[in-house]
Structure 1
């Protein structure tokens, strides 16, 4: 199985591992998986769209797009309508090389509002609604990270505690949940 990961720091962060933590977690369940992780910390949907318009992507069986944490950040916010347009254009670019069923969009992850200064779960909901709409309209897969974390029976504060402990970047328990969901386990 060959996976292509596109997104921001939530896919890019190492969290103490030698490689991005999501790659590490995916390999724990599927040691044979090949991962091309093109996520870039700090990127928003416009940055990802720009990358896709100028770059030939590697072949992959599945493409996961986890973008939005920086779009919804109040200190550098990409307006909701522009975010939706960017997501639609991202999927259009991906469809030049992949079928809709190979593409999976991830909703922005929940945040710990007691620690996160620039993001709220209300904004996560609004931007997540746009991801749902684009996935439905374009026929792609959808992974609801908010529901995944809420249904895990693990305390949300523990899931959202990564090495930065900033309420946004999560740690091992959340990456484990995410990897299992991405692999359909």
Structure 2
């Protein structure tokens, strides 16, 4: 039995035609007994998530997955890289008051289809991912690079970024399955250590 707390923006919150957030469905397909508390809020950036964590008492969970950054790097409402870095450090410090480092996983913003995305570029995705990877390394948390995940998937970017909105950012079933697999790999890697 596992429990997972999901924090982030619309990429965790979107239903994409399902009866609950699509990531919940994809995770339950791989871990049928998982208990999921999905607190993601569409449109949130790292400032918003930090405010939530400062106000709320979080539920006990085996795992916390943090998927924030797609709105931080959007050029029409950009959170500058240095601010994003400071926010992430504060977020992880707050989480570590309740959860062990090995139970926390940061997920990078996904690559985008620039032909459909006016406000996001893969150059910025790479820059914000570097910051996320550095914070993860400094604080001893797990890290999932969606850049690596997309590159190793064997699928073209156009297919990986296609969802109901078809805006080059909000993805659909294919990518939720890939993301859930990466999340389960992280969970299983910790379980193997404890045997």
Both structures adopt the same fold (TM-score exceeding 0.5)? yes
Identify the residue that residue 4 of structure 2 maps to in structure 1: 3
Give the Å deviation of 1:61: 0.5
Q: How does 1:159-178 map to 2 (within 5 A)?
A: 159-178=160-179
The residue that corresponds to 1:90 in the other structure is: 91
Matched, 1:179 2:156: no
The Cα shift of 1:102 comes to 0.5
Partner of 2:21: 20
| SS at 1:150 equivalent | helix
Secondary structure of 1:6 counterpart: strand
* Residues 115-154 of structure 1 aligned to structure 2 (within 5 Å): 115-154=116-155
Superposed CA offset, 1:9-49 (max 9, x none): 00000000000000010011111010000000000000000
**Cα distance in 2 between the residues matched to 1:159 and 1:133:** 25
Q: Work out whether 1:60 is the aligned partner of 2:58.
A: no
SS in 2 for 1:85: helix
Deviating above 3 A after TM superposition, structure 1's stretches of 4 or more consecutive aligned residues are none
**What is the CA-CA distance between 1:177 and the residue it aligns to?**
0.3
Give TM-score scaled by structure 1 length.
0.99
Matching residue of 2:192: none
Which structure 1 residue ranges, 5 or more long, are not aligned?
none
2-structure distance, mates of 1:143, 1:62:
14
SS in 2 for 1:40: coil
Q: Could you tell me the TM-score, scaled by structure 2's length?
A: 0.94
SS of corresponding position for 1:5: strand
Task: Please tell me the root mean square deviation across aligned C-alpha atoms, in Å.
Answer: 0.7
**Normalized per residue, which structure has more helix?**
2
Q: CA deviation at 1:156?
A: 1.3
Q: What is the alpha-carbon distance in structure 1 between the residues aligned to residue 170 and residue 141 of structure 2? A: 26
Number of corresponding residues: 185
Q: Using the alignment, how far apart are the partners of 1:70 and 1:181 within structure 2?
A: 22
1:155 is displaced (CA, Å) by 1.5
> Matched residues in 2 for 1:40 and 1:146: separation?
23
Matches of 1:96 and 1:113 in 2, distance apart?
Answer: 38
Could you tell me which runs of 5 or more consecutive residues in structure 2 were left unpaired when the two chains were aligned. 189-195
